[in-house]
Amino acid sequence: MKLNQILSILNQIEKSKFITFLDKLCLSAASDDEGISEALNKVNCQIKDASGSEITQLFKAVSLQYKKSVYEKLLLCDASMALLINILTRDGNCIARISWIEQLYAREWETLDVLAKKIKLDIDNNLTEDYGHEHRLSIFHNCLNVAYMNDEKINRQANITDDERSILNALAHHLKISKDEVVAIEHISEPIKTGKQTVENCLQELRDMGVIFINRKSSEVLIPDEVVSILNQIQGKQLADKHLLRILRVLSDPELSNILKSYGKRTRSVSRSEKINTILHSGIAVRDMLSRDLYDEADSQNKRKERLKQLIIELDIDTERIGFTLEERIIVILESLNTASDHEFDAISAVGFKEMFDSIEKNFIGVDITGQPETLSQRIRQEFELEENELIHVERLRALNITPHDVLYLLNNDEIKVLRDCLKLSKKGNPRFNILEAFANANDKLIENYEALAKRDLYTLKSVGIEISEAELGIKFEEVTKTILEQLDLVVDEELRKSINTTKDKTDIIISISDDDIIIGEAKTCKNGDFAKYSTTSRQIKAYVTRCENQGKRVAQVLIIAPSFSQDFIDSAEMDTEVNISLLTAEGLKQILDAFKAKRRPNFSARLLTKGGLLKAELIAKSI
């Protein structure tokens, strides 16, 4: 979840530690940085009174100083903090209940302890100096002990300094020791603390640092996507696990075996899925994989460069220049995947994502690691470490920054081909991209026939190949309306809508036009004639307005979208003194969208929807 979204759902007390930390950073850096000084001046140097979007801009301006300050604070923390941060920054853990984080920490500690005991046994039983994997582990263990003993010799608390850490990291790289083994060896020398109290203390320290937010009402920890990115940089993590999984999915079995062999991992009688799982959880640096580990030793530099060129094509990375050297091509892959999320959410609408998710949930039956049948929701829970009782739906996935591409890459290559065939899609090309394209195109077709959808015209919809039941028409119209508004670059706030809705009062759409100002949207279908139910609609929207205002939001406008309106409805809306109401026909909204898409640099604002009365779509379209 983005920082701005998190700030919008928390109260002032829950935001206070972050804002105080940001305030100190900005004030100390403003004298040396003109950009930060300008950002501070915009809020009159009063960050506590700034809006969420203004705080987000300040955070961007001071991100380098933020990273440096957090890094220095983390250096003073013990290994339990590093273990917890590794958990919190994993895919799917940016929003999680405290009790669930405690369970994940206990599970991670147990896995680490088992590995540490195994490595200790291997080191103790290794009597040869053959530079095999056990011998290399022994070398690293000895060097680590020296780093600790250097402090003890001068009567200081045993600790690994930043300089010593950089040397140990370089040593691990050349000895081909994976990240999980490094942490386990440190655990041998200096056992990591465990227990509920350890987690609680670490979470409080992170909150005081301005790294995490804690929602006391829901007992949830929230970490903005922007902060996760900075923590990954501090950890030296070059790629999120979900993006590394994409690379591993397109590598061949021999290439996966080469990576495992480089780190002394078992490859005989190991299935493809086990190989991928082992690599994912070993913490092997992706740059090392792409530069040396996946190739045969005899492969020339040109052959390695050609393999990366093919990998760029297989990952469907759209780039003007793939680079000439091996390093340049690795940079293209890493940068493209690290910035992929926003593009992937834009490539398929929220409606298309929901349809894809529902279709896979209906047609997919996988097999888990124990050989038992597994649904898509179960697979997502397992891979993204989500709580068992947590409902899996598209809105939650979007909040966790899990894209449609991420979902498809959770299915292995054989499973995705079976799904493609089940959906009766073309067997040519990449099956994952065929599935994405199919649902993106289906959504485009609904937008093209938006007026027929508004008029509940089943005959027209079926004549253009849109199979939909009459019972689904209202929901589908609401979803497509949201998609159109999103394509107009408006902020459709699903989190706020869900927090405001009750079982009795359920608004269709909420558009955020600032931190405190919103537009309430209602999408109404009508089969015959003009939409004329003003008294019913009026009672609904006034109840929604009251709920929004009780949550501290100012309702700037109510926007009602329907196929057409009766004259009585229009007159009643214009004369209503309790709420400001704008009316827009479905045809008019489609006209505005077409004008928006036709312009190279469209000039559209949500304020154009707040004029009141029946909006003149043709004038709005011309102003774009």
- Reply yes or no on whether the pLDDT at 446 is more than 80: yes
Q: What is the pLDDT of residue 160?
A: 80
- Does 39 score more than 80 pLDDT? no
Distance of CA 376 to the CA centre of its chain: 18
- CA gyration radius, the chain: 28
- Mean of pLDDT values over 440-450: 84
Residues 6+ apart with CB under 8 A from 403: 340, 341, 344, 345
Cβ atoms of residues 485 and 511 within 8 Å? yes
Cα–Cα distance for residue pair 309/215, rounded to 1 Å: 45
Coil, strand, or helix at residue 93?
coil
Beta partners for residue 557, in sequence order: 519
Q: At what angle do helices 63-75 and 225-235 cross, to 10 degrees?
A: 50
Q: Work out the pLDDT band at 44, boundaries 50, 70, 90.
A: low
Closest of 61, 33, 34 to residue 47, by C-alpha: 61
Give yes or no for residue 559 having a pLDDT over 80.
Answer: yes
Check pLDDT > 90 for residue 513: no
Q: Are 22 and 59 in contact (CB under 8 A)?
A: yes
Which pLDDT does position 43 carry in this prediction?
A: 67
pLDDT averaged over every residue in the chain: 89
Mean pLDDT, rounded, for 428-448? 87
Q: Each residue of 184-205: pLDDT tens digit?
A: 999 998 899 999 999 999 999 9
pLDDT at residue 387 in the model = 92
What is the rounded average pLDDT of the residues 22-47?
A: 76
Instruction: Provide the pLDDT for residue 259.
Output: 95
User: For the ranges 4-8, 326-330, 419-423, which has the lowest average pLDDT?
Assistant: 4-8
366: left (phi over 0), alpha (psi -120 to 50) or beta: beta
pLDDT score of 343 more than 70: yes
Q: What is the pLDDT of residue 529?
A: 83
Closest CA to 112 of 173, 176, 193: 193
Is residue 511 scored above 80 in pLDDT?
A: yes
Q: How would residue 4 be classed by pLDDT, with cut points 50, 70 and 90? A: confident
Convert the pLDDT of each residue in 231-284 to its tens digit. Answer: 999 988 889 999 999 999 999 999 999 999 999 898 988 899 899 999 988 989
For residues 72-98, average pLDDT:
91
Q: Which two tokens stand for residue 298?
A: 């005899």
Write out the CATH class of domain 470-623. Answer: alpha beta
Look up the pTM and report it. Answer: 0.78
* Model confidence at 159: pLDDT above 90: no
The model's confidence at residue 131, banded by pLDDT at 50, 70 and 90, is confident
pLDDT band, very low/low/confident/very high, at 329 (cuts 50, 70, 90): very high
Which candidate, 615, 537, 616, places its Cα nearest to that of 579? 537
The 10s digit of each residue's pLDDT in 49-67 is 777 778 888 898 889 999 9
Q: Are the beta carbons of 374 and 365 closer than 8 angstroms? A: yes
Quick one: which H or E segment has residue 597?
Answer: helix 586-598
Short-list 397, 96, 327, 306, CA closest to 218: 96
Buried b (16+ CB within 10 A) or exposed e, 27-66: eebbeebeebeebbeebeeebeebebebbbbbbebbeebb
Q: What type of residue sits at position 373? A: P
User: Which pLDDT does position 147 carry in this prediction?
Assistant: 85
At 218-233, the pLDDT tens digits run 999 999 999 999 999 9
- Say what the pLDDT of residue 457 is: 92
| Ranges 26-30, 60-64, 329-333, 597-601: which has the least confidence | 26-30
Q: What is the pLDDT of residue 211?
A: 95
Cα–Cα distance for residue pair 122/116, rounded to 1 Å: 10
Domain boundaries, the chain: 238-338, 357-448, 470-623
pLDDT of residue 441: 76
The reported pLDDT for the residue numbered 349 is 77
Q: Which two tokens stand for residue 345?
A: 């959410």
| C-alpha span between 582 and 80 (Å, rounded) | 55
Overall average pLDDT of the 588-593 stretch: 95
